[in-house]
Amino acid sequence: MARRVNVIGVGMVKFQKPGASEEYHEMASKAARAALADAGVKYEQIQQAYVGYVFGDSTSGQRAIYEVGLTGIPVINVNNNCSTGSTALYLARQAIEGGIAECVLALGFEKMEKGALGSKYADRTNPMDRHAEVMGKLQGFGEGPPTAQMFGGAGREYRWRWGTKRETFGKISEKARKHAAKNPYALFVERLSLDDVMGSPEVFDPLTRYQ
Range 115-140 average pLDDT: 85
In a domain, 179, yes or no: yes
**How many H helices and E strands in the chain?**
7, 5
Q: How confident is the model at residue 25 (pLDDT cuts 50, 70, 90)?
A: very high
Question: What local confidence, expressed as pLDDT, does residue 69 receive?
Answer: 96
Same-domain pairing of 28 and 103: yes
Domain range holding 197? 129-208
Per-residue model confidence as pLDDT tens digits over 33-69:
999 999 999 999 999 999 999 999 999 999 999 999 9
Number of structural domains, the chain?
Answer: 2
How would you classify residue 72: left for phi > 0, otherwise alpha for psi between -120 and 50, otherwise beta? left
Pick the last residue of a domain from 77, 108, 139.
108
Out of 75, 108, 141, a domain closes at 108
> Residue 146 — pLDDT band, cuts 50, 70, 90?
confident
Q: Is residue 81 in some structural domain?
A: yes
pLDDT at res. 1: 65
